[in-house]
Structure 1
C-alpha cells in the first residue's frame, strides 16, 4: 500500500509537474488578451468566458504559425518548461524537441497544430485552476454553515457539516488533471515540435562528418607517427652498427627533425579533436615532399626522385592527401624492406596527379604487419575519385601507384 501511495504522490514532489502546469496556464494568455480586445468578453457568465478565450485567438495563432521563428520560440519554451533540467547541447538534443525555425510548410503545419493543441488543453486547465479551488472554498463555507453562491458555480442553499468531506475533492481533481495534461503536452511536443526529416538528416550528416574527420585524423596520425617511429628505429640501429661519430651525428639530426615534424602533426590533430583552435597548423603538402625524401635517405635508403609538374599549384585536398600517400609508401618500404634503393615519381599535369614508389623486394620478406596503412592509402585515393594499387610487378619490385584526377577539382 505504501508503494502505491508513493507512486500516486510522487508527481506532487517533482518540479516538472509545476513547470508543465505553468506551461498550460501560459496557453490561455493569448485568449485573455484577445478577450480584452474583443470587448464584452468578460461580461459573459459561467463557461461562456472560457469558450471565448478558447475561440478568439485561433486566427491569430494560425497566422503566427506561418512565422518561422515562432517554432523556435515554442521549442525553447517547451524544452524549458516541459523537460526542465540541464540545458546543454546534448541535453537539449535528448529532449526530442527542436529549437530550429520552420523550414518548410510541413513545419508550419505542425507548429499550427501545436499552438491549437496548447490552446485546447491550456484553456480548460486554466479554467479548472480558477474554478476548482473556488469550489473547495464553497464546500468549506457550506461546512461552516454559510450559504454560498460564487460566480460560475451552482449555489449551495442548504449548508451542512458533511460538505467538509468534499473540500479536498476539487483540489485532487485539479492536481490529477494538471499532471495528466502535462504528460500529454510533453508527449505531443516530441511529435509536433520534434526535428523534421530535413533536420534529422542534417544532424546525421554532421555526425557523419565528425566521424569521418576523426577517422581521417587517426589515419594521419598513423601515417605521421608510424613514419617517424620507423625512421627513428632504423636510424638508431644504423648509428649503433656504424660506430662512426660522424654518422651518429647525422642520424641524431635526422631523428630530431623527424620527431619534431611528428610532434607538430600530433599537436595539430589533438587541437582539432579538442576543437579549441580556430586556425590549426597547416598540413604538409606535396611541395614539402623533399622532407620525406630526406628522411628516407637519412634512414639509409638511396632515393631516386622524379618530381615534375606544378606541384605547388595542386588543389589543397589532393596535395595534402598525396603527401600522406607518399609518406605511407616510404614508411612501408623502410619497415618491411629496410634501407633499400627507392624510386619515387611524383608527376602532375592538367588532368591528374600520379604517384609511384618502387623498391626491390627483400630476399626474405618481413611478416606482414597487421595495420591499415595500405588500406588507408587506397581509401584516400577513392575519396578523391582516383585509384591506388600496391603489389609486386613483373620486374620483381614492390610498386605503389596512385592516380588522382584533377580536372573536376579545378
Structure 2
C-alpha cells in the first residue's frame, strides 16, 4: 500500500510536474487573446468559450509556424518547461529537443504540427484547471447543505452530506490529466521539435571535425615535442662528450631555442583545446624551415639544404603541414641515425610542393617506417591530396619524399 501511495503522490513532489502544467496553460494564451479580439467570445456560455479559444488562433499559429525563429522559441520553452533537471548547455543538448530555427519546409511543417498539438492539449487542460477546482468547491458547498449553480457546471439543487466524498475526485482527475498531458507533450516535443536529419548530420560533422582536430593536435605535439626532446638529448650528450666550454655554450643555446619553440607549440595546442580562445597563436610554416635546419645542425648533423620556389606564397594548410613533415623527417634522422649528414630539398612550383629528406642508413636501423611519426607524415600528405613515402632507396640511403598538389588549393 505504501508503494502505491508513493507512486500516486510522487508527481506532487516533482518540479517538472508543475513546469509542464504551466507549459500547457501557456498554450491557451493565444486563444484567450484571440477571444478578446473576436468580439462576443466571452459572452458565450459553458464549453463554447473554450471551443472558441481552441479554434480562433489556428490561422495565426499556422502563419507563425512559417517564421524560422518560432521553432527556436518553442524549442527553448520546451527544454526549460518540459524536461526535468539542470538546464545548462550540455543538459539542454541531451534533451532531444532542438533550438535551431526552421531550415526547411519540413521543419516548418513539424513546427505547425507542434503548435496545433499544444493548442489541442493545452486548451482542454486549461479548461479542466479552471472548472475542476470549482466543481470540488461546489461539492463542498453541497455537502454543507447549500445549493450551488456555477457557470459552466450543472446545478446541485439537492445538497447532501455525502457530496463530501466527491470533493477530492475532481482534483485527483485534474492531477492525473495534467501529469499525463505533460508526459505526452514532452514525448511529442522530442518528435516534432527534435533535430532534423540535416541537423543531426551537422552535429555529427562537427563532432567528427573536433575529433580530427584533436588528432591533428596530438600529431603536432608528437612532432614538435619529439623533435625538441631528440635535439636536447643529442646536444646534451655531445656537449658532455666534447669537453669544450665553447661547444657546451653553443649546445645550451640550441637547447634553449629548441625548448622555447616547443613550449610555444605546446601553449598553442593547449589554447586550441580551450573553446574560449578564438584566435590561437600562429603555427610555423615552411618559410620558417631554416629554423629546423639550424636545429639539426646544432645537434651535430651536417645539413645540405636546397630551397626553391615561392615558399612564402604557399597556401596556409600546405605550408603548415609541410613544415611539420620536414620536422618529423629530421627528428627521425636524429633519433634513429644520429648526427649524420642530411640532405633536405624543399621545392615549390605552380603545381605541387615537393619535400625530400635523405640521410645515410644507420648500422643497425630501427623500424622507423612503422613508427607513429612517419605514419603521421603519410596521413598529413593524404589529407592534402598528396602522397608520402619513406624507406631505403637504391643508393643505400634512407629517403623520405612527399608531394603535395597545389593547383586545387589556390
TM above 0.5: yes
Aligned-pair distance for 1:195?
Answer: 1.0
Give the CA deviation at 1:210: 1.2
User: 1:177-197 CA deviation, whole Å, 9 max, x = no partner?
Assistant: 000000100110001011111
Deviation at 1:278, TM superposition (A): 2.9
Question: What is the SS of the residue equivalent to 2:369?
Answer: coil
Segments of 4+ moved more than 6 angstroms:
none
What displacement does 1:87 show? 2.4
Other-structure match for 1:302: 302
Maintained 8 Å contact 2:142/2:161:
yes
Unaligned runs of 5+ in 1: none
Q: State the distance in 2 between where 1:313 and 1:368 align.
A: 32
Please report how far the alpha carbon of residue 272 of structure 1 lies from its aligned counterpart in structure 2 after TM superposition: 1.0
Pairing of 1:95-174 with structure 2 (within 5 A): 95-174=95-174
- Give yes or no for contact 2:303–2:341 (8 Å, CA) kept in 1: yes
8 A contact 2:17–2:182 mirrored in 1: yes
Distance 1:136 1:25, change over 3 A: same
**How far off its partner does 1:279 sit?**
2.3
Q: How big is the shift at 1:86?
A: 2.6
Shift of 1:156: 1.1
- 1:212-259 Cα offsets, whole Å, 9 max, x none, are 111111111000000000000111111111111111111111111100
1: distance between equivalents of 2:25 and 2:223?
A: 61
- Residue 201 of structure 1, CA deviation: 1.3
Superposed CA deviations along residues 340-396 of structure 1, whole A, max 9, x for unmatched, are 111100000111000000111111223559741011100100111100000111111
Structure-2 separation of matches of 1:377 and 1:281: 23
User: Which moved further from structure 2: 329-338 or 46-55?
Assistant: 46-55
CA distance in 1, matches of 2:59, 2:278: 47
1:306-362 per-position Cα deviation (integer Å, ceiling 9, x unaligned) = 111111111111111000000000000110111111110000011100000011111
User: 2: CA distance between counterparts of 1:227 and 1:379?
Assistant: 18
Q: Could you list the per-position Cα deviations for residues 103-159 of structure 1 after superposition, in whole angstroms to 9, with x for gaps in the alignment?
A: 100000000000000000001001100110011011101100111111111111111
What is residue 17 of structure 1 aligned with on the other side?
A: 17
CA shift for structure 1 position 81: 1.0
Q: Deviations over 1:278-302 (max 9, x none)?
A: 3222111111111111111111111
**Cα RMSD over matched residues?**
1.2
Residue segments in structure 2 that go unaligned for 5+ positions in a row: none
Count of matched residue positions in the alignment of Structure 1 and Structure 2: 410
| Residue pair 2:368, 2:374 contacting (<8 A) in 1 also | no
Distance 1:212 1:193 in 2: 30
SS of the equivalent of 2:399 reads: strand
Paired residues of 2:369 and 2:390 also in contact (CA < 8 A): no
d(CA) in 2 for partners of 1:224, 1:162: 86
Partners of 1:188 and 1:339 in 2: CA distance:
69
- Please give the alpha-carbon distance, in whole angstroms, between the structure 2 residues aligned to 1:111 and 1:85: 25
CA distance in 2, matches of 1:229, 1:369: 20
Q: Which deviates more, 103-112 or 69-78?
A: 69-78
Aligned counterparts of 2:276 and 2:264: Cα–Cα separation in 1: 16
Partner SS, residue 369 of structure 1: helix
Q: Give the Cα separation in 2 of the matches to 1:190 and 1:121.
A: 16
Scaled by the length of structure 1, the TM-score of the pair is 0.98
SS of residue in 2 equivalent to 1:365 = coil
CA distance in 1, matches of 2:276, 2:29: 44
- Give the alignment's TM-score, normalised by structure 2: 0.98
Q: Confirm or deny: 8 A CA contact 2:387 2:403 kept in the other structure.
A: yes
The alpha carbon displacement at 1:88 in A equals 2.1
Cα distance in 1 for partners of 2:142, 2:12 equals 28
Supply the distance in 2 between the matched residues of 1:334 and 1:38 (Cα, whole angstroms).
86
1:59-118: per-residue Cα shift (whole Å, max 9, x none)? 111111111111111111111111254322211111111111111000000000000000
CA separation in 2, counterparts of 1:47 and 1:278? 58
Distance 2:269 2:170 in 1: 64
CA deviations on 1:29-86 (whole Å, 9 max, x unpaired) are 1111111222111121111111111111111111111111111111111111112543
Question: Cα distance 1:386–1:215, how it changes in 2: closer, same or farther (>3 A)?
Answer: same
- Helix, strand or coil for the counterpart of 1:357? strand
After TM superposition, the structure 1 stretch with the greater mean CA deviation from structure 2, 38-47 or 359-368, is: 359-368
